[in-house]
């Protein structure tokens, strides 16, 4: 007999569904932050525990560190960590107020002369970092780091002086793209999906879609991956698929792909769930902890993408 006053157990997804299998993987392997996010999105968790877990990664300078982005280890704040923190705050609808004001002050302090963000600042030197992440003395501004941050701030109608020059940087960087690679295109989409100037965003997205298809940056047929070369410097099978670019049907990138192509992409994503319930990472694995932490992140993202497209997850 249960003790009087005992807390009721949270509802559990039906056995053997993608969600129930993923739940076992998350409780077994994930960090507290991703466990709280999983509970928020798919069980009965609230936003407060997510924000409490995220606060453990925040530094006194207003930025975030401590391997929040798993491929950058060590305590120091970095723009890529801060971008990840913003995605978490956006997911729980807490992307505003003093917490974001502090974050924007950090962004202002670490921006380059053109008002945008480098991916990794020199303070990372001396701490473990993925071999494919360069640490240089004077890092340039990058769309890869700046686009998603600016996009999320616009999405949440955050207005801060930092945004003006950073937005201009993103427009200029996207307008100048003649060749690119999938992660940079994904960053551009994150910006274009929410920037206020919708006609300009739609025109830019249309041009990027032609670039993606013309340069075969998206693997349109998972059965014929050899027909789609991976970008230079990527891992041998680090392909990107339509669902990676259009993470929801509302994305401007959805128009780049036919219904048949998107169906094949989502079928492939569903089938990627592994025996332990988690989804794999496709980029180069360089350290066990970083790979395991990243798998928890992509598992949550995979479930959210499938659900956004109306696929059954449980």
Angle at 121 between CA 280 and CA 61, to 5 degrees: 100
Residue-wise pLDDT tens for the chain (314 aa)? 444 455 555 555 566 899 999 999 999 999 999 999 999 999 999 999 999 999 999 999 999 999 999 999 999 999 999 999 999 999 999 999 899 999 999 999 999 999 999 999 999 999 999 999 999 999 999 999 999 999 999 999 999 999 999 999 999 999 999 999 999 999 999 999 999 999 999 999 999 999 999 999 999 999 999 999 999 999 999 999 999 999 999 999 999 999 999 999 999 999 999 999 999 999 999 999 999 999 999 999 999 999 999 999 99
Nearest to 312 by CA among 9, 90, 45, 42: 42
Angle at 15 between CA 12 and CA 19, to 5 degrees: 70
Q: Find the length of the chain.
A: 314
Check: CB of residue 272 under 8 Å from CB of residue 279: yes
């Amino acid at each position: 007999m249960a003790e009087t006053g005992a807390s009721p157990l949270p509802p559990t997804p039906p056995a053997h569904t993608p969600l129930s299998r993923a739940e076992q993987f998350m409780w077994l392997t994930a960090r507290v932050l991703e466990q709280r996010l999983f509970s928020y999105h798919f069980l009965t968790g609230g936003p407060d525990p997510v924000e409490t877990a995220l606060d453990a990664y925040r530094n006194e300078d207003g930025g975030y560190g401590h391997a929040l982005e798993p491929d950058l280890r060590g305590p120091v704040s970095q723009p890529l960590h801060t971008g990840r923190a913003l995605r978490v705050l956006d997911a729980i609808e807490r992307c505003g107020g003093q917490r974001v004001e502090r974050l924007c002050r950090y962004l202002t302090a670490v921006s380059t002369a053109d008002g945008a963000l480098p991916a990794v600042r020199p303070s990372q030197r001396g701490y473990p970092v993925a071999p494919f992440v360069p640490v240089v003395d004077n890092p340039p501004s990058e769309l890869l780091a700046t686009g998603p941050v600016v996009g999320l701030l616009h999405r949440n109608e955050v207005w801060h002086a930092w945004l003006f020059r950073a937005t201009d940087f993103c427009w200029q960087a996207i307008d100048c793209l003649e060749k690119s690679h999938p992660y940079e295109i994904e960053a551009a989409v994150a910006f274009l999906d929410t920037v206020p100037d919708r006609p300009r965003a739609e025109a830019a997205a249309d041009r990027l879609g032609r670039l993606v298809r013309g340069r075969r940056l998206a693997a349109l047929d998972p059965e014929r991956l050899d027909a789609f070369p991976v970008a230079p410097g990527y891992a041998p099978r680090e392909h990107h698929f339509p669902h990676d670019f259009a993470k929801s049907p509302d994305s401007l990138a959805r128009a780049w792909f036919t219904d048949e192509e998107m169906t094949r992409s989502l079928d492939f994503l569903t089938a990627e769930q592994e025996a332990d319930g988690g989804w794999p990472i496709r980029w180069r694995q360089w350290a066990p902890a970083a790979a395991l932490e990243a798998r928890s992140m992509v598992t949550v993202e995979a479930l959210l993408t499938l659900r956004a497209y109306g696929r059954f997850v449980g």
